[in-house]
Structure formats: structure tokens, C-alpha cells
Chain A
């Protein structure tokens, strides 16, 4: 997958067939993992911070439902087969949605793996290997998507 065009806030990427099939499958099957509870504070735990945490988790749950819809749309409307390769056309908001979807997959898989310190270590069990693969596939697409800002 490589960026082939950028005009203003629109990007176009070219993908080979394998990449396109994997990306489409990731988008169509999103979400893969449960939504883990988020913490609002490391230190303070009082009624106010608890209330904030409840709000945060409700907001993240709603946000994830929105991403689920966005994922289906991206798979159908933004990814298409071109004459030679596949094309992924994104506007700025689509790109942010896609990054959030991919990182939800990556972080979710990592957490279900038990939050390993060494993310390169291949797990032995098939179920864990599947999660490890998901984590890496999502990371691959993320790294290709992020505009070269440096």
C-alpha cells in the first residue's frame, strides 16, 4: 500500500489485491475485541472522577458504534478496484476514522494478548497468534496511512 496522490485534504492510496482483501476484511469484521474500560485518572478517585470515568466510557462506547458504521462505509465506498491495482480514496475525516478503527483493532488485540511488553514476540497458541496477527496487520496499515510529516 502506498500513497499515490494528495490534493488538499484528499488522499489516494494504491493497494495490491492481497492488501485490499485484508483491509476490507478488517473493516467488515470490525470490531474484533470487546471495548475495554478506560481510566480518567491514575491518582484521584472520588465521586467526581468516577462520574467523569462513567461519562468517558459511555462516550467511547457511542464513538465505537460510529466507527463501526464508518468501517462498513469505508469498505464499500472508499475502497475500489482500479484497472491495475486497488484504490483507497480518503478525505481527511475518513482518514482519521480509518486510523481510529485500525488502532482500536491493534490496541484491542494487544490487550487481549495480555498487554505484552514485547510486541514482536510471536505467541505459540493459535488463538493468540490470530490476535498477534491482527495487531500487526492493523499496525501495517496505520504506518502506511499516516502522512509523511517529517
Chain B
């Protein structure tokens, strides 16, 4: 997004916003790992609650965790990924944030 900066002349000088920070900031996958103890209906419920997903999407990720051992739930900035990991841990799901390529 362009940013207007004050200039001595009447016409404002418009400079493009730095692309480096926003575009090159590292992103992370929020990954949920399988365990033999969390109930499947519980995991589905937590995904719906934390991410606001519908039942179908929540179930799809729950089944991926169950069958493949893990599921990458979302890809987010460090701050947001950290927030989601905290939320999932509050429900005692094993979640981590892993750097995306």
C-alpha cells in the first residue's frame, strides 16, 4: 500500500511502502499432532471453536490428524500462529508452530 509522507513542496510525495517487511516476514504453519487420548468429537469441536470452521472442515482436519499423525491447520504470521497455538493448548491439544518455507 502506498504511504503519503510530508514534503516541503505543496504536492505530497507518495512513496511505496516497504515491501520487505510485510512480504518477507516469515510465516508459520500451525500444526496439530495426533495422540491416542483426545476424543475425536472433542478435537472437531475445538477446531470449530478456535478457527470458526464449519463441521465439515473441522472434521476433515481432525481425520487428517487421526490418520496421518498431523495436520497443518493454518498458515499465518508468527504472531497469529502463536495465538492459535496458545488457544489449542488451552484445550490440551498438541499443537506447534513450524516455519513455512
**Chain B residues closer than 8 Å to A116, beta-carbon distance:** 36
Tell me whether A56 and B98 are in contact (CB under 8 A). no
Tell me whether B90 and A60 are in contact (CB under 8 A). yes
In chain A, residues 62-112, which have Cβ atoms closer than 8 Å to a Cβ of chain B?
63, 96, 99-100, 103-104, 106-107, 110
State whether A117 and B36 are in contact (beta carbons under 8 Å apart), knowing that A40-B97, A99-B45, A150-B55 are contacts in the complex: yes
Question: What is the number of residues of chain B that contact chain A, defined by CB distance less than 8 Å?
Answer: 27
Contact with B along A100-136 (1 / 0, CB 8 A): 1001101100100001111100000000000000010
Tell me whether A143 and B99 are in contact (CB under 8 A). no
Tell me whether B36 and A118 are in contact (CB under 8 A). yes
Question: What is the number of residues of chain A that contact chain B, defined by CB distance less than 8 Å?
Answer: 34
Tell me whether A96 and B98 are in contact (CB under 8 A). no
- Is residue B82 contacting chain A, with contact meaning CB distance below 8 A? yes
**Chain B residues closer than 8 Å to A39, beta-carbon distance:** 94, 96
- Is residue B39 contacting chain A, with contact meaning CB distance below 8 A? yes
State whether A103 and B45 are in contact (beta carbons under 8 Å apart), knowing that A44-B98, A119-B37, A135-B37 are contacts in the complex: no
CB distance from B50 to the nearest CB of A (A): 10
Tell me whether A143 and B36 are in contact (CB under 8 A). no
Tell me whether A143 and B89 are in contact (CB under 8 A). no
Contact with A along B64-101 (1 / 0, CB 8 A): 00000000000000000010011001111010111100
CA distance A42 to B96 in the complex (A): 7
- Is residue A5 contacting chain B, with contact meaning CB distance below 8 A? no
Tell me whether A100 and B92 are in contact (CB under 8 A). yes
CB-contact partner of A52 in B33, B36, B82, B98, under 8 A: B82
CB distance from B82 to the nearest CB of A (A): 6
CA distance A139 to B40 in the complex (A): 11
Tell me whether A41 and B96 are in contact (CB under 8 A). yes
Contact with A along B16-43 (1 / 0, CB 8 A): 0000000000000001010111110110
**Chain B residues closer than 8 Å to A42, beta-carbon distance:** 31, 33, 96, 98
